Amino acid sequence: MNFHYQVNYISRLMCEADLAICAGGATTWERYCLGLPAILISVAYNQVEICEIVNGLGINWYIRKSEDIYEKDIRDAIENIKKEGFDLKGRSKKALEFVGGCGTDRVTKKILEHYINLD
């Protein structure tokens, strides 16, 4: 296990990793695009709902809010993942299917369709 903090090479790390321990903010969609499941911890009020929702997708393991987390909780989550056979490859596949990584193309296509239909 390696700990990385405030790095400028996060996409490389995500591509190389099998599992992340991270917050549940906007990085969630970046991780999904790269097929990286995670143990999630909400570190801000606005992350709680998204963590709870994405937890139901079968990709992540949401623990709870950071102020309610202790080292033992993270250790227990890792042990449970190992014990329960947390299917990392299957969860990675689900993440890739959920966010295809072609958002720009889809948005551009919708805009063009809208303007073409106006003529």
Q: What residues does each domain of the chain span? A: 10-118
CATH number of 10-118: 3.40.50.2000
**CA torsion through residues 15, 21, 27, 29, sign:** positive
Instruction: Give every strand in the sheet of 61-65, ordered side by side.
Output: 20-23, 38-42, 61-65
Which tens digits make up the pLDDT trace of 69-85? Answer: 999 999 999 998 888 87
Q: Is the pLDDT of residue 20 over 70?
A: yes
Q: Band of the pLDDT at 102, cuts 50, 70, 90?
A: low
pLDDT at 23: 92
Q: ∠ CA 62-64-70 to the nearest 5 degrees? A: 115
Q: Band of the pLDDT at 103, cuts 50, 70, 90?
A: low
Residues 62 and 54 sit within 8 Å (Cβ to Cβ): yes
pLDDT at 42: 94
Q: Is the pLDDT of residue 13 over 70?
A: yes
